[in-house]
Every structure is written in structure tokens, then in C-alpha cells.
Amino acid sequence: MVMVMVQFELSKKLVIPKPALSARNLLSAGSEIADSPRLRWWKHFTWRHPEWWIFGLSLLAWLTIVVRFDATGVGLSLAHQHHHGSASLLWLTETRGWMLMIVAMMLPLVATSARNAAAMSLWSRRHRAIAGFVLGYLSIWLIIGVIISLLISSLRLHGWLDPRIAITASLCLVVLWEFTSIKKRALLACHGTMPIAPTGWRANLDCVRYGWMIGGSCLISCWALMVMCSLSGHNLAIMLLATIVGITERYPILRIKRIAFG
């Protein structure tokens, strides 16, 4: 009897180790985490919209513009004009502001075309196709931006560019350009498509060519708006106004209501 009680007391003090998690248990735990509603929603969203990271680039560009925006309400280019007299520095500042402006304002407008590039490519190449499209799209804007930035920085350096006169003149040019047939045809061409090879270097080249094609149409359609923003010294308010104009042109208000309210 005594021996039985001693064994019972010892068994209570013994700590029985828990069995280690097996591979099946780990997989089941991982599947439970993966099946959470938020992760399912995000996975479904990224599958349907592989172009989501384009909006991320645009948001980063906007944040950079806002953070570095001059507190007095003057754009970055005009602020550098008062502190630096180097022509090359003014040109680089203007070109940087131009490309930030393009990424912030124009990339969201071509998200549908980027999605088309992904849809016409193999599943494993979707993001590579979008990256090629963005590369081609930004390339044509960079080439034109280098030229425009050189002209604007030269005019500012010599004091031949009055901001108020420049903004007023460019605004009149924007209004006149809106009613031209060239503008309307270019706006329609911004929704164009082209065949893309399924694999290999031809697929990469086709994605770049597609971005270049859409970028050329957007350049013809929106060059006046972009020049007005540059002449304003990349003024934040004018850039926001130009962005609203671009959105309402590219995506009519009725379609926006249908997307927003179902």
C-alpha cells in the first residue's frame, strides 16, 4: 500500500513532455493563417490587380513632393532658383521634379494599360510585363522632360521667366489644346492595345514597346498640362488640379460612380 502511494506521488511530479509538432500540424497551422479573411482578400485582390504596385510608386512620389514642397507655397524648382546659380544644378533639379511629377500624376492613369500588359502575358511573367511597360512608358517622358527642363532652367537662370505670366499663358494653352482634334485622337489612343509575345526576349521587348506606345499617346494628350505644372515650379495645388483634369478625361465621371457605388 505504501509503495502504491509513493508511486502515485512520484507520477504527479513527473512532467510528461508534449509531443513535438509534426509536419502535418505545421502545415495545418500555416493553412489556417493563410485562410484568414484579410489575407484571402489581399491575395484575391493582387491576383485580380497585379498592377497594384504602380499606385504604390505614385503614392511614394506624391509623398516625396509633399515633404520637399517649399513651405512658402513655392515649388521646388523655384526654391532652388533663389539659392543656387549653377545651370547644371537647376537643370537636374527641374528634371528630377519633372519625373517625380510624371510618376505621381501619370502612372495611375495608365494602370489599366499596365494591367492589359499583364493579362496578355503568362501568369509567371505578369509583374515582369508591368515593369517593362512602366520602363517604356517613363522612357519617352524622360526624353521629353530632359529637353523641357533644359529650356525652363535656362529661362529661369537668366531671369527671363516670370512665373505669373508663364502660368497664365500655359493655362490658356491648356484650354485651347483641350478642344483640338489631335488631343481627342491622342486621348482615345491612350486606351490602345498591342499583341505581346508569350515568352523570351520578344515578350520583354513587346512590353517596353507597349509602354512606349501608350506613353507617346499620353504625351500628345497631356503635354500642355505637364508644361503648365513645370512652369509653376511644380506647385502642389496646380499639380493636384491637373491630376483631377487627367482623371476626369481618362475615366469619365459616370464610370467612376459605377466603380465606387457598384
The whole-number pLDDT of residue 67 equals: 87
Using 50, 70 and 90 to split pLDDT, how confident is the model at 258? low
Arithmetic mean of pLDDT, 114-139: 94
On the CB side of 95, CA atoms within 13 Å amount to 17
Q: What is the DSSP letter of 125?
A: G
Q: What is the pLDDT of residue 245?
A: 92
pLDDT value at residue 26: 44
The fraction of the chain above a pLDDT of 70, given in percent, is 75
Alpha carbon distances (Å) from 102 to 16, 31, 33, 149, 249: 65, 41, 39, 13, 17
Question: CA-CA distance, 199 to 120, in Å (whole number)?
Answer: 11
**Beta carbons within 10 angstroms of residue 157's beta carbon:** 17
Mean of the per-residue pLDDT values of the chain: 80
- Res. 45 pLDDT band, cuts 50 70 90: low
Per-residue pLDDT band for 204 (boundaries 50, 70, 90) equals very high
The sign of the torsion formed by the CA atoms of 247, 252, 253, 257 equals negative
Most confident by average pLDDT, 82-86, 154-158, 252-256: 154-158
**Residues 154-158: contacts with CB under 8 Å, at least 24 apart:** 154/87, 154/91, 156/77, 156/78, 156/81, 156/90, 157/81, 157/85, 157/87, 157/90
The pLDDT score that the predictor gives to residue 5 is 46
DSSP string, 179-243: TSHHHHHHHHHTT------SSHHHHHHHHHHHHHHHHHHHHHHHHHHHHHHHHTTS-HHHHHHHH
Q: Report the percent of the chain where pLDDT is more than 90.
A: 52
What's the one-letter identity of residue 200?
Answer: G
Say what the pLDDT of residue 98 is: 95
- Which of the four pLDDT bands, split at 50, 70 and 90, describes residue 195? very high
User: Bigger pLDDT: 233 or 110?
Assistant: 110
Assess whether pLDDT exceeds 90 at residue 113.
yes
| Confidence grade of residue 151 (pLDDT, cut at 50, 70, 90) | very high
The mean pLDDT of 21-29, rounded to a whole number, is: 49
Whether the pLDDT of residue 18 is over 60: the answer is no
Question: pTM of the entire structure?
Answer: 0.78
28-49: average pLDDT: 65
Q: How confident is the model at residue 250 (pLDDT cuts 50, 70, 90)?
A: confident
